[in-house]
Structures are given as structure tokens and as C-alpha cells.
A and B are shown apart, each in its own frame.
Chain A
């Protein structure tokens, strides 16, 4: 203990961080737990299979998408395969994206792409992990389709007027990953070094990739 005095351990004299159990359970928390228990009780899958699926989802992170984008930057033939079929291209580098198709959309000098799901929070989770809270917020979902340039400015991203802003509303069966444009000054970089420039937000399209001087 870092305190140099002894005291009754009731925390009565200063605020403390409440645990989840200190709040009332919401109806959705209760329903989620109930459905999980029913799935196991009815033998649809085992508790271990449920846990494995959660573990699988939690193992997904933006580094996987960055690896794919870096290889696409470094290898034009691979980029062509990514644009054709992300699932097959990801499998080539040992990433299994599961059953939900993902489509790659490429930023160029003429077009800046940004992804939103106005209906819910569809996101290429198997390639870049769970979405950030802002992606699921009503503000992002409603404003990105209506005033995308203003939303991008709030992320610190200015798109010149002679570049088309193309919003993709991911409301159906496809998920989208943006291939950000490769920054200048990286011509002799290998994939490993390139991957450090590719962030989660750049693959959603709210920012460009980092510049070499950002590293």
C-alpha cells in the first residue's frame, strides 16, 4: 500500500470507481444474460463455445487490417486481389474473416471514402476489431451521411473541394474497409514499417494514414 498511514478501509473519505454491479442492471443486460443461458441450456452451443467466440472477437484488432493494407500498398498485384475479394486476400496472409463479406474501397487523389452504418453499427470487426463508441453514436451515424465534410473536419481531416467525398452507408450484407492512400516519402519502406502508418480511423476513412513524420 502506498499510503503511509493506517485507516479503516471504508473509502468513506474519498470517491471511488464504482463496479458494474454497483449500477442497476438494465433490461438489455438481463436479456443478454438470459439468452446466453438459454442457448447453453438448450444445447445450441456450449458455454466454452460461447466463450471461444467472445475470445475470437476480442482478439481482432486494427493491426490485422493494417497488415493487409500495408501489403496492398507494397504489392500492386495483391492490392488488385484485395479490391476483388478481401476474404480471399486476407486468407493469403493467414487472416480468416469468417462468413460476412468485406469490401475494400480505395482512397485516391480524386476520391476520399468514409464509412458509416446509419441503421446500427455494421463494421468489419473480423479485420479491425470492435468499433469505437463514436462509430455507434447517433451523432456520427446521422451526421456523416448529411454533412460528411464537417464531421471529417471535427476529426481533424480537411478534404479539398476538388476531391470527391464518397460516403458508404453499410446497411446491408457487406462491411467496408477503406484503403487509405499511401503517404509520400514511403517509397522504399517495407510492409512492416508501412503498417505503422495505418490506423483504425484511417481504415474507417475519418482520417488519412499517418505521415512518415508522425512516427
Chain B
């Protein structure tokens, strides 16, 4: 396993990528900025497992917190409402 690229508190951006195939990163959060809340361990890459491969090397998984108002235009709830999404490391890049 490689060293973890992010630590809790880091600002990250979800890659605005749209590859074909099995992907666990929800569409609605691609391109959005959030904050790493927690490291959730490392797991075989589900994008590989889906096609019968072994998913190695394992990939780090992060719990990333987003403000609802940063994801949805016109979110009507309070500004403090958040959504936490589990995202694999290769879908994250440092936020600018």
C-alpha cells in the first residue's frame, strides 16, 4: 500500500471525470469541493473487482464531507447541512 495522499481536514476536489464502466463515485458530486473527514481504510478497487479482476493494489477510501449548498444549486435547507460520501483516493485531487 502506498502512503495516504490525504489526511483529515484536507480540502479536496472530486475529479470531474466520466469514465465508462463500474464507478462508485456518485455522479452528482463530481467536480465538487469537500473536506476529508476521516480515513476509512483501504479496499480492493471496486472498479476492477466488477470485472472479475483482483482489485489489487488496494486503494485508500476516505469519508469526504460536502456542504449541501456546494453540491446543489438552490439547496433550501440551512447552510450547515452536509453530506458525507465515501470516495476512493484516485477520485480525489487537492482543492485549489
Contacts and interface: CB of A to CB of B under 8 A. Distances in A.
A119 B78 CA distance: 25
Interface residues of B, number: 24
A167 B78 contact: no
Interface of B: 24-26, 28, 40-41, 43, 46, 61, 68, 72, 75-78, 80-88
Contact of A164 (B72, B78, B86): B78
Nearest to A147: B76
B43 A173 contact: yes
Given A171-B26, A172-B43, A174-B40, A149 B85 contact: no
Contacts of B80: 164
Interface residues of A, number: 22
A157 to B, nearest CB: 14
B83 to A, nearest CB: 4
Contact of A172 (B75, B77, B78, B87): B87
B80 to A, nearest CB: 5
A90 to B, nearest CB: 18
Given A145-B28, A146-B72, A171 B77 contact: no
Given A101-B41, A119-B24, A165-B77, A172 B88 contact: yes
Contacts of A149: 76-77, 81
A171 B85 contact: yes
A171 B24 contact: yes
